[in-house]
């Protein structure tokens, strides 16, 4: 497996998501774009304009998470920076990251974020909520005075999102099977991760119940139809990875056999190959597809662990190709990708570091 020069990483650990050592050049590269983007308010995705006076600046509505083009990207860029500090000792950008987070993560600023959600309770559901819970979980994992301070400050927003997740997301009547922000399975995986990390058994049971209600009867995933458009997630793999968290090993194997009955079928060849991110030109669509290759890499690797023989070999080889393709395009200076792709790289490389 080939990787960019600035990411000198062990290939097996990279694919398994268990990278625990990176050199300073790699860490600087992973931190560079998030560190810049969390402080960059423009360009910004402001959503619908409701009237001629609706010209509020991003920082007025979101005093913490105003950068990175949109709220959810600002949240997971904070996650990416804080996770780097936790996992990699003596980070070369440690001082800059701490100063930057400290400047925004204040009680007054978090109160402003909560106020916006109270007035706009469906904002960023479910994708932004998922990443906020992941950010909170990261702070709970880290035994460090800075993490304790930031967790205490973030707590009112964490609690609001946790409660609304239970009340408004886990009670939905049906899942959204899309390759973009509305994907229910991706968000449910994050909810389960958060609940397990903080020991919230009630939330964990609610999320697992919703996952079963949404997906346990699914069969014959239409993998030939992916990607569907501006995808940066695979609906098939997001669902398969979620159900790995919910079903016991034997039950999952039986479910997977019905959901993905024959990945070795020639009709599935396109799904097992990385998407050519440049085929439709540059910009937003192409960079979403770079993220899709990263997401499919970790998704395929996780599913491969649950099968054996020819299918496992096929999925492992596919995951490796997807990771190569994703890493090759992730470190772009184009803001359409630079404001978010480093988070996907870090998640792909470290997602299983905390697993027992």
Question: How many Å apart are CA 55 and CA 74, to the nearest integer?
Answer: 20
Q: What is the pLDDT of residues 318-329, one digit of tens each?
A: 999 999 999 999
Question: How many Å apart are CA 35 and CA 33, to the nearest integer?
Answer: 5
In a domain, 247, yes or no: yes
CA-based nearest residue to 127, from 85, 189, 48: 189
The structure tokens listed for 347 are: 């998640």
Three-class DSSP category at 12 = helix
> 152 near 91, Cβ under 8 Å?
no
**DSSP one-letter string for 238-269:** HHHHHHHHHS-HHHHHHHHHHHSS-TTSGGGH
Is the confidence at residue 48, as pLDDT, over 90? no
- Please tell me the total count of domains within the chain: 1
pLDDT attached to residue 2: 45
pLDDT attached to residue 356: 58
The structure tokens listed for 169 are: 């997301």
Is the confidence at residue 103, as pLDDT, over 60? yes
> 15 near 42, Cβ under 8 Å?
no
Q: What is the pLDDT of residues 129-158, one digit of tens each?
A: 999 999 999 999 999 999 999 999 999 999
Q: What average pLDDT score do residues 113-140 get?
A: 97
Is the confidence at residue 54, as pLDDT, over 80? no
DSSP, res 224: G
Question: How many Å apart are CA 192 and CA 168, to the nearest integer?
Answer: 16
Angle among Cα 5, 72, 194 to the nearest 5 degrees reads 90
Domain containing 344: what range? 214-348
More confident residue, 163 or 47: 163
In a domain, 63, yes or no: no
In a domain, 335, yes or no: yes
Question: How many Å apart are CA 34 and CA 151, to the nearest integer?
Answer: 20
In a domain, 2, yes or no: no
pLDDT attached to residue 269: 84
pTM of the model: 0.95
In a domain, 53, yes or no: no
> 291 near 256, Cβ under 8 Å?
no
Q: What is the pLDDT of residues 217-270, one digit of tens each?
A: 999 999 989 999 899 999 999 999 999 999 999 999 999 999 998 877 777 889
Q: What's the longest Cα–Cα distance across the chain?
A: 62
pLDDT attached to residue 1: 47
In a domain, 146, yes or no: no
In a domain, 304, yes or no: yes
* First CA to last CA distance, the chain: 26
Question: How many Å apart are CA 127 and CA 132, to the nearest integer?
Answer: 9
R_g over Cα of the chain:
20
In a domain, 307, yes or no: yes
Is the confidence at residue 20, as pLDDT, over 90? yes
The average confidence (pLDDT) of the chain is: 93
């Amino acid at each position: 497996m080939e990787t960019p020069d600035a990411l000198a990483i062990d290939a097996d650990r990279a694919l398994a998501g268990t990278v625990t050592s990176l050199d300073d050049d790699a860490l600087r590269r992973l931190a560079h774009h998030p560190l810049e983007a969390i402080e960059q308010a423009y360009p910004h995705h402001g959503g619908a304009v409701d009237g001629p006076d609706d010209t509020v600046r991003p920082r007025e509505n979101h005093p913490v998470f105003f950068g990175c083009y949109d709220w959810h990207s600002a949240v997971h860029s904070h996650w990416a920076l804080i996770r780097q500090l936790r996992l990699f000792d003596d980070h070369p950008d440690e001082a800059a990251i701490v100063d930057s987070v400290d400047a925004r993560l204040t009680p007054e600023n978090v109160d402003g974020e909560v106020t916006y959600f109270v007035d706009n309770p469906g904002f960023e559901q479910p994708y932004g909520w998922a990443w906020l819970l992941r950010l909170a979980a990261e702070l709970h994992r880290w035994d460090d005075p800075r993490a304790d301070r930031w967790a205490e400050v973030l707590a009112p927003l964490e609690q609001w999102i946790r409660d609304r997740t239970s009340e408004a997301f886990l009670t939905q009547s049906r899942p959204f099977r899309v390759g973009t922000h509305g994907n229910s399975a991706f968000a449910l995986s994050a909810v389960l991760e958060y609940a397990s990390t903080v020991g919230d058994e009630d939330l964990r049971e609610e999320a697992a119940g919703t996952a079963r209600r949404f997906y346990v009867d699914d069969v014959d995933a239409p993998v030939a139809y992916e990607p569907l458009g501006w995808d940066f997630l695979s609906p098939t793999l997001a669902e398969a990875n979620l159900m790995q968290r919910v079903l016991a090993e034997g039950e999952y194997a039986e479910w997977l056999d019905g959901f993905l009955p024959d990945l070795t079928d020639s009709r599935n060849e396109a799904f097992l190959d990385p998407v050519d991110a440049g085929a439709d030109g540059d910009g937003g669509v192409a960079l979403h597809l770079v993220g899709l290759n990263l997401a499919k890499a970790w998704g395929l690797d996780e599913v491969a662990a649950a099968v054996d023989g020819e299918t496992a070999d096929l999925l492992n080889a596919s995951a490796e190709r997807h990771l190569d393709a994703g890493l090759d395009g992730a470190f772009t200076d184009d803001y359409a990708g630079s404001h978010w792709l480093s988070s996907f790289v870090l998640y792909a490389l470290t997602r299983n570091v905390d697993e027992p």
